């Protein structure tokens, strides 16, 4: 019996991946835990940024068991600078469940994977197809762009009806040999050729199948979602220290509902000026001498907020035992999971 030939578009995608895929560290493994880590890191984060963290994170936590045994502070310290810190906390929680329920082995069944904290349909599909060679689809931003152009979908991909269509198209494509490579080919095509700003149709392996290319609409599709500009927010932050030299300490806070997802951070409040800083000091139960003038100012931009932060020094700081503040040696702050804003403030003031 003759083998059934690959559908032309699927065959073209696999050839493209074999010949032109980038050599990335997470593509050299079939370890489901390592693939899980990479997929969580890559969410809303550029590949170039993740390259600076992936190997270091896995060197620190080479197995699910090692990560599960780590404290939240250790995990946050290793993640610090990658942003979207809720991802790290959910990864930590998910890995702990894998250790408790599955003996440290990521489950092969898709439903079991999707029941883990922090794993949605996309991450489950990436792990299932790449690590376990299962025909499970994926749709991320790159894949959605590719499929919208191929099928000439003239609506924003975020719409629920469009999402349903995209997942159905991805499901059809992934059926067949090498589902992991097929999914990665779609991601690679969107990242390197079928890009958002300047699609390079001359280098595209599936342009013959692409409705957007046939209609000359590749620059128009997919339709963009209307995005709001980051909201400007004025804040004061207390940089409260006690002691000097090698024994100096910095007072930090960590709130579960904070902007920085459980990282240690400077006490902050909306507003500007010494009066706001004084009110925050009193509200925090923080004794010490507040400076007469702000020590500096910095800008910190998140996806939804553009923060203008006034820095106010407090010396001789003594947090109340009943509050949420805690002193930490400045020399070891780098070993904590601290926000990038805190790091920037310390650098600016030479601490």
Report yes or no: 80 and 263 within 8 Å, Cβ to Cβ: yes
Q: Which residues on adjacent β-strands are paired with residue 286?
A: 319
Strands (E), the chain: 231-242, 249-253, 268-270, 286-290, 296-301, 305-319, 325-329
Structure tokens at 315: 């010396």
Read off the tokens for 213.
């290319």
Smallest Cα–Cα separation from 39: which of 125, 107, 99, 98? 125
In the beta sheet, which residues pair with residue 318?
A: 287
The catalytically annotated residue of 6, 19, 39, 297 is: 39
* Residues ≥6 apart with Cβ < 8 Å to 269: 235, 236, 276, 279, 280, 283
229/252 Cα distance (integer angstroms): 30
Report CA Rg, the chain. Answer: 24
Please confirm, yes or no, whether 335 is among the known catalytic residues: no
Q: What is the DSSP letter of 188?
A: H
| Tokens read off for 12 | 């073209």
DSSP string over 299-349: EEE-SSEEEEEEEEEEEEEEE-TTSSEEEEEGGGGGGS-B-HHHHHHHHHT
Q: For residue 343, what are its two tokens?
A: 């790091």
Least Cα distance to 264 among 160, 197, 209, 334 occurs for 334
How many CB atoms are closer than 10 A to CB 79? 23
Count other C-beta atoms under 10 Å from residue 82's C-beta. 21
Residues 50, 86: Cα–Cα separation, whole Å: 16
Beta-carbon neighbour count of residue 39 at 10 Å? 22
* CA–CA gap between residue 348 and residue 309 (Å, rounded): 12
Report DSSP state, residue 193. T
Active-site residue numbers?
39
């Amino acid at each position: 019996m003759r083998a059934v030939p690959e559908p032309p578009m699927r065959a073209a995608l696999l050839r493209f991946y074999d010949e032109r895929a980038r050599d990335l560290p997470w593509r050299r493994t079939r370890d489901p835990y390592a693939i899980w880590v990479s997929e969580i890191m890559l969410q809303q984060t550029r590949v170039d940024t993740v390259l600076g963290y992936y190997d270091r994170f896995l060197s620190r936590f080479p197995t699910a068991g090692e990560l599960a045994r780590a404290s939240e502070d250790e995990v946050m310290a290793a993640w610090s600078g990658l942003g979207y810190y809720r991802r790290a906390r959910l990864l930590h929680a998910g890995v702990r469940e894998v250790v408790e329920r599955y003996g440290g082995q990521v489950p092969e069944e898709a439903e079991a994977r999707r029941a883990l904290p922090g794993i949605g349909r996309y991450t489950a599909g990436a792990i299932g197809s790449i690590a376990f060679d299962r025909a499970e689809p994926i749709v991320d931003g790159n894949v959605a762009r590719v499929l919208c152009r191929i099928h000439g979908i003239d609506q924003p991909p975020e719409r629920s009806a469009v999402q349903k269509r995209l997942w159905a198209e991805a499901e059809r494509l992934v059926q067949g040999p090498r589902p992991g490579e097929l999914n990665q080919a779609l991601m690679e095509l969107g990242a390197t050729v079928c890009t958002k700003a300047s699609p390079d149709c001359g280098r595209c392996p599936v342009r013959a199948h692409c409705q957007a290319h046939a209609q000359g609409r590749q620059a128009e599709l997919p339709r963009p979602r209307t995005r709001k500009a980051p909201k400007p927010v004025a804040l004061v932050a207390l940089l409260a220290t006690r002691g000097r030299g090698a024994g100096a300490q910095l007072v930090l806070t960590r709130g579960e509902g904070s902007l920085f997802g459980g990282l240690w951070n400077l006490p902050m409040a909306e507003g500007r000026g010494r009066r706001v800083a004084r009110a925050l000091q009193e509200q925090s139960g923080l004794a010490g001498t507040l400076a007469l003038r702000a020590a500096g100012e910095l800008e910190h931009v998140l996806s939804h907020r553009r923060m203008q932060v006034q820095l106010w020094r407090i010396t001789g700081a003594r947090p109340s035992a009943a509050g949420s503040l805690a002193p930490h040696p400045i020399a070891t702050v780098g070993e904590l999971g601290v926000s990038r804003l805190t790091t920037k403030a310390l650098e600016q003031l030479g601490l």
